[in-house]
Amino acid sequence: MTTAPLSTDPANPTRLVISGDWTLDNYVQLHRHAIVPDSTISALDASQLTGIDTAGAGLLVQLLGSARVTELVSECESLSASQRGLLLSVARHMPEDKEAKVSTRFSLIDQIASLGEQVINACRQTMQFFGFFGLTLTRLAVTLLTPWRWRLTALTVQMHQAGLNAVPIVALLNFLVGAVVAFLGATVLESFGATQYTVDLVAYAFMRELGVMLAAILLAGRTASAFTAQIGAMKVNEEVDALEVMGLNQIDILVLPRFIALLIVMPLLSFLSIMSGLAGGAAVAILSLDISLARFLGILQEIPIRHMWLGLAKAPLFAAIVALIGCLEGFKVTGSARSVGERTTSAVVQSIFFVIVVDAIAALFYMEMGW
């Protein structure tokens, strides 16, 4: 195209001249060279237009807007009847993009309404969680009273996937975090000549808080997402509906093995997490702080063992949160792959959030009780 597809008439700047072949074959060049005219255009000259189809008409409507195209085309005498009908039809059925791009005016009422909707959704999700928790406990009690319903194979598989496969990442991460905590503590305490208290800092931090919380966060990102994806994929493939048709309880088949497995492996992973963090602190103490291994262990022996029990006591709570949220979000999946991804993300975010909230509440409770 040698001339501009859209230009203003030099003799009459308010007249828009459309020229060339406005068809699908030239759409790329048209889209690249067509310039949106200013708002002073009041007339259209199509005498140099050699052809136009729906692609060209759609581009013209996109550039000018449906209302302006309708007004200009209705008053244009150089358009043929077929061209005028095509442009009017496209302008009538094509959405007004320019109006859609205009941002809505800030409204305090709208913001308050949006905040209210978010609060209502949060309350609804909390109620769903506790309802699902009660249903799971009910089915757990029934299963414990009927040993022939125990699904030991599924339980073993879930323990292997959620527990044993998580050992390397849990051990490595907590070892590194323990080393970092020791470095930070030594940096501050060295100025007071109290580097030996770095051992106490690492021990108290991992026994009471960091050990079990880091293990729970790792399980929230690793296991909760896996539970949601597995159950969500079954929902998409209608396997969950098939279980219901066969008369099998969905909670017994899909939730209880995962729930019990996490209740078993979470305290074990928390203990491993504590030991790995202490090992990281010991490595820094021995290599950088001139604290021997015997002295490090001697300081550890002076710390009451109850601090470890206080930390491990939170493990079953974290396990229940991760397992229940992961399974519940899986059951919320609708029949699409996009829903699986959205619910998986939601499961991870909710699990980590509630783990941190419960840990903070437990810390405040321990402090008030003087533990």
In a domain, 89, yes or no: yes
Half-sphere exposure of 117 (CA within 13 A, CB side): 6
Instruction: Read off the pLDDT of residues 50-86 as tens digits, 9 standing for 90 and up.
Output: 888 888 888 888 888 888 888 888 888 888 888 888 8
Q: How confident is the model at residue 95 (pLDDT cuts 50, 70, 90)?
A: low
For residue 277, which of 194, 215, 329 has the smallest C-alpha distance?
A: 215
Indicate whether 195 and 343 sit together in one domain. Answer: yes
Indicate whether 96 and 182 sit together in one domain. Answer: no
Indicate whether 92 and 170 sit together in one domain. Answer: no
Q: Is residue 38 exposed (0-12), middle (13-18) or buried (19+ Cβ within 10 Å)?
A: exposed
Whole-number Cα distances in Å, 282 to 70, 107, 169, 206, 213: 79, 57, 19, 13, 20
pLDDT value, residue 36: 65
In a domain, 105, yes or no: no
Q: Which two tokens stand for residue 90?
A: 């496209």
Question: What is the chain's percent helix, strand, coil content, to nearest 5?
Answer: 75, 5, 20
Indicate whether 244 and 356 sit together in one domain. Answer: yes
Query: Percent of the chain beyond pLDDT 70?
Result: 94
**pLDDT surpassing 90 at residue 176:** yes
pLDDT value, residue 315: 93
Q: Which of 189-193, 337-341, 355-359 has the lowest mean pLDDT?
A: 189-193
**Structural domain tally of the chain?**
2
In a domain, 207, yes or no: yes
Average pLDDT value for residue range 158-186: 91
**pLDDT surpassing 90 at residue 317:** yes
In a domain, 328, yes or no: yes
14 Ramachandran zone, left/alpha/beta (phi>0; psi -120 to 50)? alpha
The count of other CB atoms within 10 Å of the CB of residue 247 is: 6
Indicate whether 142 and 62 sit together in one domain. Answer: no
Q: What is the dihedral of CA 125, 131, 132, 136, to 10 degrees?
A: 160
Instruction: Read off the pLDDT of residues 125-149 as tens digits, 9 standing for 90 and up.
Output: 889 889 999 999 998 898 888 888 7
Per-residue DSSP letter, 36: -
290 Ramachandran zone, left/alpha/beta (phi>0; psi -120 to 50)? left
Select from 68, 100, 132 the last residue of a domain: 100
Residues 232 and 343 sit within 8 Å (Cβ to Cβ) = yes
Indicate whether 348 and 256 sit together in one domain. Answer: yes
Domain CATH code at residue 48:
3.30.750
For residue 22, which of 31, 13, 9, 14 has the smallest C-alpha distance?
A: 31
The count of other CB atoms within 10 Å of the CB of residue 85 is: 12
For residue 281, which of 178, 354, 195 has the smallest C-alpha distance?
A: 178
Indicate whether 135 and 270 sit together in one domain. Answer: yes
Give the relative orientation of helices 197-204 and 256-288 as an angle to the nearest 10 degrees: 170
Whole-number Cα distances in Å, 4 to 43, 284, 336: 17, 72, 46
In a domain, 153, yes or no: yes
In a domain, 303, yes or no: yes
Q: How confident is the model at residue 101 (pLDDT cuts 50, 70, 90)?
A: very low
Indicate whether 250 and 319 sit together in one domain. Answer: yes
Q: How confident is the model at residue 102 (pLDDT cuts 50, 70, 90)?
A: very low
**pLDDT surpassing 80 at residue 9:** no
Q: Which domain holds residue 257?
A: 123-369
**pLDDT surpassing 60 at residue 219:** yes
pLDDT value, residue 262: 93
pLDDT value, residue 49: 84
Indicate whether 60 and 132 sit together in one domain. Answer: no
In a domain, 109, yes or no: no
Select from 67, 100, 133 the last residue of a domain: 100
Instruction: Read off the pLDDT of residues 13-32 as tens digits, 9 standing for 90 and up.
Output: 778 888 888 888 888 888 77
Give the relative orientation of helices 197-204 and 167-189 as an angle to the nearest 10 degrees: 140
Q: Which two tokens stand for residue 315?
A: 């493990």
Q: How confident is the model at residue 106 (pLDDT cuts 50, 70, 90)?
A: low
Average predicted confidence (pLDDT) for the chain: 85
